Amino acid sequence: MTQINKKKVVVIGGGTGMPIILRGLKQHPIDLSAIVTVADDGGSSGRLRDELEMPAPGDIRNVIAALSDVEPMLLYLFQHRFTKGNNLSGHSMGNLLLAAMSSVTGDFYTGIKEISRVLNVKGNIYPIANQSMFLHAEYEDGHIVVGESNIPKENQRIKRVFLKPNPVLPLPEAVVTIREADLVVIAPGSLYTSILPNLIVPQIGEALRETKAKVVYVCNVMTQAGETNGYTASDHVQAIMDHIGEGCIQSVIVHNQTIDPSLQLVYAEENAQPVRYDLERLREMGLEVIEEDIVKDLNRSLRHDTDKVANVLCSLID
């Protein structure tokens, strides 16, 4: 299939869930793009963002690693995290390379493109914005917390999240890519700190509502302490709609197998539980519900199965 005839698939997200989806999709003959949050403020990303006044590179780094096709040792080097040195400790080599390339090229997005070329990345990677941005959360009692890493620590129900500066200017290429897509995938991940920071950027929600593509949300398997305690699948979708309006999602993919009770006990220690898939409510919201076995146990941690999810997603555009 030529590049011209390939279906255009766009994945939006961040955190650990997005790379899993991308690793499977890159094996398929599609025109693949990733739109990635730059709202991280913890660890190496946060330090570089504050010291160099650049967008947070951590989620971008993980997406580059997921989509690259290079010798394993080079990829291992890219993901290496220093454990010694007063200034280097905690930094990842990939974050430092992104910071250096941004400085050399004078632009974060241009730096990403150059690193992607060097590491033979399959697809396009777009930061949601080409500027540093700060995530804020307002809780139901009205108080506000600043910083992606601080938001879950409050362990209270979140009313909304928003970004500063206001407005954050979306990367134009990201908006165009959504509008021209055949399928848009909202990846699983931290709802308020990985997913919504992308969707609430001006013009992104509008593009999602107006794109010709089917927009599908791959729902989380487990709730997340401090963000989605007690949330059902429809609660996840409702939170997205509350932030960017109705009509932005057409389909939702849910796992249709029971989670092993012993694994549930492991997650219960982290105050997490299986997301209840309230299918009737999802259908009442006008959504197509796709039920599949898409999760695997990886060292006593539940992860979406990269190949199974990719197969389900690609079946939606065949």
pLDDT, tens digit, 9 for 90 and up, residues 227-242: 999 999 999 999 999 9
pTM, to two decimals: 0.94
- Is a pLDDT exceeding 70 seen at residue 2? no
Cα–Cα dist 240/200, whole Å: 9
Note the pLDDT of residue 202: 87
Is the pLDDT at 274 greater than 80, yes or no?
yes
pLDDT(166) > 90: no
Indicate the residue type of 74.
L
- The 10s digit of each residue's pLDDT in 40-54 is 888 888 899 888 889
Peptide bond into 202 cis (omega under 30): no
Phi and psi, residue 136, nearest 5°: -120, 145
Q: Which pLDDT value is given to residue 84?
A: 86
Residue 126 near residue 113 (C-beta atoms within 8 A) = no
How much is the pLDDT for 1?
Answer: 47
pLDDT confidence of residue 125: 98
Report the pLDDT averaged over residues 148-164.
Answer: 94
d(CA 40, CA 171): 17
As a whole number, the mean pLDDT across the chain is 94
Q: Is a pLDDT exceeding 70 seen at residue 249?
A: yes
Structure tokens, 172: 């134009």
Q: Which DSSP category does 248 fall into?
A: S
Phi, psi of 231 (to 5 degrees): -70, 140
**Rounded Cα–Cα distance for residues 62 and 67 (Å):** 9
Question: What proportion of the chain, given as a percentage, has pLDDT over 70?
Answer: 98
Q: Would you state the pLDDT for residue 292?
A: 96
Say yes or no to pLDDT of 318 above 80: no
- Which residues fall within 8 angstroms of residue 73, CB to CB, at 6 or more apart? none
Q: Does pLDDT of 158 surpass 90?
A: yes
What domains appear along the chain, each with residue ranges and CATH number?
A: 1-37+167-318 (3.40.50.10680), 41-122 (no CATH)
The pLDDT, as a whole number, for residue 4 is 63
> Mean pLDDT over residues 114-131, rounded?
96
Beta-bridge partner residues of 147: none
CA distance 133 to 193: 12
Mean pLDDT calculated for residue range 6-11 = 97
The predicted pLDDT at position 3 comes to 56
Instruction: Inform me whether the pLDDT recorded for 297 exceeds 80.
Output: yes
172-222 confidence digits (pLDDT tens)? 999 999 999 999 999 999 999 999 999 999 899 999 999 999 999 999 999
**Is residue 23 over pLDDT 50?**
yes
